Amino acid sequence: MADTQEQAPNAEISKSEKPSISFSIWPPSQRTRDAVISRLIETLSSPSVLSKRYGTLPEAEAAATAKIIEEEAFAAASSSAASDDDGIEILQGYSKEISKRMLETVKSRSGGTGGEKASEGHVAEEVKVEQDESSVTESN
């Protein structure tokens, strides 16, 4: 019985001594970044919510544009990175930057005007939903 009493406190000590595991989703892996670029190319060059309003880009142009959009969004999100953050807020900022830059790109290419502002939020939200759905699919 004495042995049992001595082991119980030791078991508690060893549990508290285990190193804590930290989880961070920022920065994304190169594979994830490549998947984002692929999804951007698909969104920019094939029928989508965005193309219904602004048209599509030729695949070569979409590929070059997607790479620039992703790199700029990554740089912007990285510059706001906090060392004690688990990365969720940074990843959200990255996603918002991608959506914003993609929308700006297609609007400027199609000659979009300020009169379309009322539906921009709706289009941007639908694009974000498409990106979020592809992110979930990619992570599985």
- Pick the closest to residue 137 from 46, 32, 66 (CA basis): 32
* Any domain includes 2: no
Q: What is the CATH number of the domain that holds 93?
A: 1.10.246.200
Most confident stretch, 16-20, 29-33, 48-52, 81-85: 29-33
Tell me how many domains the chain contains. Answer: 1
* Any domain includes 29: yes
| 3-state secondary structure string across the chain | CHHHHHHHHHHHHHHHHCCCCCCCCCCCCHHHHHHHHHHHHHHHHCCCHHHHHHCCCCHHHHHHHHHHHHHHHHHHHHHCCCCCCCCHHHHHHHHHHHHHHHHHHHHHHHCCCHHHHHHHHHHHHHHHHHHHHHHHHHHC
* Any domain includes 7: no
* pLDDT per residue as tens digits for the range 63-113: 999 999 999 999 999 887 666 567 888 999 999 999 999 999 999 988 755
User: The tokens 């740089």 sit on which residue?
Assistant: 75
* Any domain includes 16: no
pLDDT of residue 13: 52
* Any domain includes 4: no
* Any domain includes 14: no
* Any domain includes 105: yes
Cβ atoms of 40 and 99 within 8 Å: the answer is no
pTM check: above 0.85: no
> What is the domain range of residue 102?
24-139
pLDDT at 140 over 60: no
7 vs 85, higher pLDDT = 85
* Any domain includes 37: yes
Q: How many CA atoms lie within 13 A of 95 on its CB side?
A: 21
Cβ atoms of 99 and 127 within 8 Å: the answer is yes
14 vs 43, higher pLDDT = 43
